[in-house]
Amino acid sequence: MSMMNLRQIKCLRNNQSGMASIMITMITMIVVSLIVLGFATISRREQGNTLDQQLSTQAFYAAESGVQDARNIIETDVKTNQPILPRTNCTTNAGGATYPTGAQMVLDSTHNVSYTCLLVNPALPSAVYNGVGEQPTVVPIDTYPAQTITSLVIAWSPTNNPSPSATTCPTSTTKTFSPAANWTCNYGLLRMDLVPTQGALTRAGLDSGTLSSFLEPFKSGGSANVSYSGDVGKANVTGVVCGSGAGAQCKVTIVGLTATDDLSLRLSSLYQDSTITITAYHGGTQLATSGQVAVDVTGDAAGVLRRIQVRIPTNNTSNLIPDYAFQSNAAVCKRYELDKTYFHIPNDITNPDPASPMCQTTTDGTP
């Protein structure tokens, strides 16, 4: 092989070595660029998520502001005995309504924060009460407009269990309820007092017109109806069929009503807090009720939207009727005398028989 060929081969080898270095450098640069690009994308995404969360929170607060504005107007109408007017258009009023419009719905023009839609519905097809527990809740049932109520449907489900099961509920009632620790049913036991409140109210009328019942959840059997005319004035325990699965409920219908308008329900849920839905009917026609007002508001923060829907009660739902014949914030002393052949309760605790040893006072003057 000539000297010229050897030089060419050596030169070719040197050129190939340089090409490999170029390729390695290019691959390294591509990999580093992809890593940098990935980090930049993640950073921009996190920055965008943070901004979206901030705007979403602002939009939510804007929607809450709209709810509060509507609440103030509704409460004023209730206090002044004015009708609660609906609003069916997002931004304009009709029929004399005075809900915020235009600039009144803008909360921060600099940062484009406002609520863009406010709807008010005072005629709901049913009334819903969440978290009803042992402390009774008074539910006024007023139709809108006033019509005769012939039946009332009460449905309830556990507030903290969206998919209850009735498999462990009772199959019959002994009219003796178990201690709370032994109750295994997912549903609460509903105590109901139905009181007609129209016209002049008297003690005799309330005694004879009040329907009281304990509605006990059953996993099978039970009744779908409670008769007002047949069970009024009695202490009733009624087994009610309950379902299992997502959205399942216990449901009972009170039939035989002839109320022209006003009814009041006092409800309490034993063992489990319940979400209760009440629906009024005239024959087969569902009636709109006026005990709650639905307010639907959409908040807007620089293009990010949040929508909330709430129900505002138009009546006082706190329990103004005592649950017992006698209540005290302090200890109650009961005096009685007992031996093998004698039992006596002093007739007058305020002015007890001074001869009775149970009514003697101590040195400090207390009984």
* pLDDT tens per residue, range 46-94: 777 787 889 999 999 999 999 999 999 999 998 888 888 999 999 999 9
Whether residue 166 is contained in a domain is answered as yes
Q: Between 12 and 252, whose confidence is greater?
A: 252
Whether residue 303 is contained in a domain is answered as no
Statement: residue 367 has pLDDT above 50: no
- Give the Å distances, CA to CA, from 242 to 84, 126, 143, 219: 36, 20, 27, 6
pLDDT of 33: 84
Average pLDDT over residues 256-285: 86
271: left (phi over 0), alpha (psi -120 to 50) or beta: left
Average pLDDT over residues 183-202: 85
pLDDT of 366: 46
Nearest to 302 by CA among 78, 39, 79, 107: 107
Average pLDDT over residues 286-308: 90
Whether residue 185 is contained in a domain is answered as yes
Whether residue 347 is contained in a domain is answered as no
Alpha-helix runs per DSSP H in 162-249:
203-209, 228-231
Whether residue 295 is contained in a domain is answered as no
Whether residue 78 is contained in a domain is answered as no
User: Residue type at 362?
Assistant: T
pLDDT of 344: 56
Angstrom distance (rounded) from CA 319 to CA 197: 15
Statement: residue 255 has pLDDT above 50: yes
Whether the model pTM is above 0.85: no
**For residue 199, what are the domain limits?**
125-290
Return all residues near 197 (Cβ < 8 A) that are at least 6 apart: 140, 262, 263, 264
Whether residue 74 is contained in a domain is answered as no
Sign of the dihedral through C-alpha 131, 221, 255, 173? negative
Provide the domain count of the chain. Answer: 1
CATH code at 186? 2.60.120
* Average pLDDT of the chain to the nearest whole number: 81
Nearest to 275 by CA among 137, 166, 123, 71: 137
Whether residue 349 is contained in a domain is answered as no
